[in-house]
Structure 1
Amino acid sequence: MTVSTSTPDLYIGLMSGTSLDGIDGVLVDFQGRMKVLQHASTRFAVGLRAELLELNTPGENELHRAALAANALAESYAEVVQLLLRQAGLRASSVRAIGAHGQTVRHRPQMFDGTGYTLQLNNPALLAERCGISVVADFRSRDVAAGGQGAPLVPAFHQSVFGRPGQALLVLNIGGISNLSVLPADGEVGGFDCGPGNALMDAWCQRHTGQPYDDNGAWAASGSVLPALLEQLLAEPFLQQPPPKSTGRDLFSLGWLQQQLAALPPGTRAEDVQATLTEFTARACADAARRWGRDAQQLLVCGGGALNGHLMARIGALLPEVHVQSTTASGLPPLQVEAAAFAWLARQTLRGLPGNLARVTGAHGPRVLGAIYPA
């Protein structure tokens, strides 16, 4: 595909991650240096969020429920797209494509039959119909078909946006699950999922306070870490596996957490458990950065976890030799990064260029990712 050098090169990226907190959308111009022109976000309707969370585990009548949830998700995506267009004063025809990741409800690559699967609920045909814009979706399955994990897909984007020649850098995305991109000075980009992000903290907070997340980590900061529980959590084998590796709510679920908490003595304070879960996330991220960071002295953090001041402070304390800061310092606010990544991946697809890094996902080689649903 020939891209004009004199007109805007506009894409929309949509992301609803494993935190299940809602949808972030960005309008991006890739003409010259990438620039986010607009950002819009919306929270999930309570019923849709509950259904998406339920669909992460086996249940009754899943196919029917998943299809309807995908329709509702596509309608919500379309609302974010329309909001972005209104904010920018643009017609749909001005945008080349929408990159729509969908909502991951199962992630089991390389399992069962050797290939496994990854499943993102979405209805990109309905989204294309509602918006009048071509949609690129289903980014992960081609990498899985090529023997990879299907995740993480963002390290190549992180390198294109944050990478600097001759400078080692780490980028940590803390969504429901945390993933680390390693951008060494020699350009050999790496990356992997390092463990839980907000998923466990959010679930515990919702259960005990009724709030969907621990605002700025204040509730965790009011508690005390339980050393025996922390040691037990850190014994999870996934944390010690070498890359390539990826994970999701299939492992770090509320059921997994309940098993870990089963031996706690009666009367254990809920805020102490929250403090321990926050420390667990911080330790998993910091240990991964220390083990695989290739002497990087800067760590940029994006995703919702970057807005958790207590979590950020703990990661910084655990990595005293590394300068830890949010991606805002590099010109891209934390809640825009992943959405922008899927705008970038959609552009790669339309240009016939690979979106994965085989050394990151373990795939047999670079692949053009995604399926295109024309406007």
Structure 2
Amino acid sequence: MVPTVPEPPFEAAMAPSCTACKADTLANSRFCHMCGVAVGMAHGGYSIVEPSILPADLQAVKKPSPGMRRNSAADLRRNNSSYLLLMRLEEAGAEWRDVEGLSDPGGRTPDSTPKARPMTMSPTKRWETDRDRFVKISEIHAAPAFPRILCVSRRYLRKNKYVDITGEYHLELIQKFGGAPIILPRTMQTVQQLCEYLPMDGLVIAEGQDLSDDILQKYGCQVPERLTGEAAKKFASDTETDVSKDELEFALMRFALAAGVPVLTFCRGSQMLNCMRGGTLVGDIESQTDSCIKHLRDSSDPEYDSFRHPITVKTKTPLAEWFGDSLGNGEAKMLMVNSYHHQASKELGWSLVPMAHSPDGIIEAFYDPRYDPKAGQFVVGLQFHPERMLGDYPGCARCYESFLEACRAYKAFQDVCA
């Protein structure tokens, strides 16, 4: 059990830096948010307690035992730092973008490091000991530490009871390219327990129902015009909302954007990403645009899964890179993609640029131009579902491959900092 370090008053002064890692220390904090060394009171403010005088269990946090799987102590310190940022974002409410300078493109640079909120950190996690035990009795002690990719389950009615499901195609692709998918239950209580699932090295937000008005407003996003009456009932599985799932995924997305975590989104997820960056939505393509394409079909339609429509791909974008061989290495610009949506991104938010459009002008793909997988920078929104058309183009799997490359780079950088 970790001994209690005296908690200073909230207004305590910030010390210039941690004597262990030279990072700025935080007022009202028990540990350095970067290296995990305990913080103590001295001269009216904070000074760092040297590791040599720490109790054995705190020294173990700073210096993992030889039998412990690599990066477990780093994961613990990253969890602590994540907790601080979560609290800071939560207190900001609808103004959360101002916390990390996310309200305008110039407010945040690709290599900027999120600042943590001055609060006490979460206690040492039992999984550090459990992991150590598991390593000793298994064959995985030499295996690399996989990046943790978080994704949220979806509610499904089966035998008159709700169950949580997650598409295996996402999980298998994450694992194929070297990630460890972590499935979060979409229940409301998960939001309160979110820190227990951190740290995360990547976030996947995929399909689901329309985004709820209350959650959009809570996060400072614009609410689109809605379908009503019989029109809404026609595609109830899409037009109905799941507030619990929205609450959890918005909290995860907010954290990921603030911390620079790689983000890959599909369909509903891409619409969420655009809203979080200040963009807007088309509430219903069929009734609010002059589209000649039926973007959403009833699940009983024989062409529900086989239907494809063309999209025009912009050159010199990640999408053109992933599908290069299918696009004749730049000579062709057209791909045929699936479609399962009645809403779409209308105006893109800040620092998002389009990668593809359908013939009716609907944005089918976009990304943050600071994209650099080798540097751990990846924010992408795809309106179509490449995971459902893996047999159509090799590029459908490459978007996951590139995403996991970014997740590994992000994890490596964070582990060094931790």
TM over 0.5: no
Q: Which one has a larger percent strand, Structure 1 or Structure 2?
A: 1
Rg larger for: 2
Q: TM-score, normalised by structure 2?
A: 0.25
Q: Which one has a larger percent helix, Structure 1 or Structure 2?
A: 1
